[in-house]
Copies of this chain bind each other. A is one copy, B any other.
Amino acid sequence: MMRFVLHEDPRSGNCYKIRLAAALTGQTIERVQYDIMKGDTRREDFLRKVNANGRIPVLQIDERFLPESNAACWFLAEASPLLPHDRFDRADVLRWMFFEQYNHEPNIATLRFWLHFVGEANLNRFQKEQIMAKRAGGEHALTLMEEHLAVREWFVGESVTLADLALYPYTSLSEAGGFRLRDYPHVCAWIERFEALPDYVAMD
């Protein structure tokens, strides 16, 4: 039996994804916590041992380390119902996971981090000037999700998959970054469906 250790900052939605993937697939995961605001993941021992990229989450599997939240979720969910049997659907799950990391997270999660944790007054000029572009990018991502969910309950196929799991955390937290979820009623209904899943666990 494999031992799983999640190297995380519990405020991070990317870290929470991995806890969700473990919970929804009935696997136990230990947790080691870092404070990214204090630079815990930029220290030499972390860079040498856990992730040279200086980022969390990292999923430790016995003595091996797997960075990137969506890769870690994929590892935990292989051979579970969170990954479809159909070849196109499996690639389509990855399509939404790459959309999440490229179009969604850099806008929606970053604005939450800047506005909710750092505080607008503490941002530098360069960050302040990016707020409008990130707001527009995040709203575009939410609009695409809204249109997709207008005619289906889950992102891929007829049941919950890793696509939903990857998109859920930062979408559900988006109001902390100034997004108005009530403008996206199908997204709100999908969030409710996700939170009603039997093995769902909330963020700390």
Q: Which chain A residues have a beta carbon within 8 Å of chain B's beta carbons? A: 52-53, 61, 64, 66-72, 74-75, 78, 87-88, 90-92, 94-95, 97-99, 101-103, 105-106, 126, 129, 133, 144, 147-148
| A53 CB contacts on chain B under 8 angstroms | 99, 103, 144
Given contacts A52-B144, A61-B88, A129-B129, contact A101 B103 (CB under 8 A): no
Main secondary structure of the interface of A (DSSP, over half): helix
| A106 CB contacts on chain B under 8 angstroms | 102, 106
Nearest chain B residue, comparing its CB with the CB of A62: B88
Cβ 8 A contact of A94, one of B61, B74, B147:
B74
Nearest chain B residue, comparing its CB with the CB of A64: B88
Distance of A90 Cα from B76 Cα, bound (Å): 12
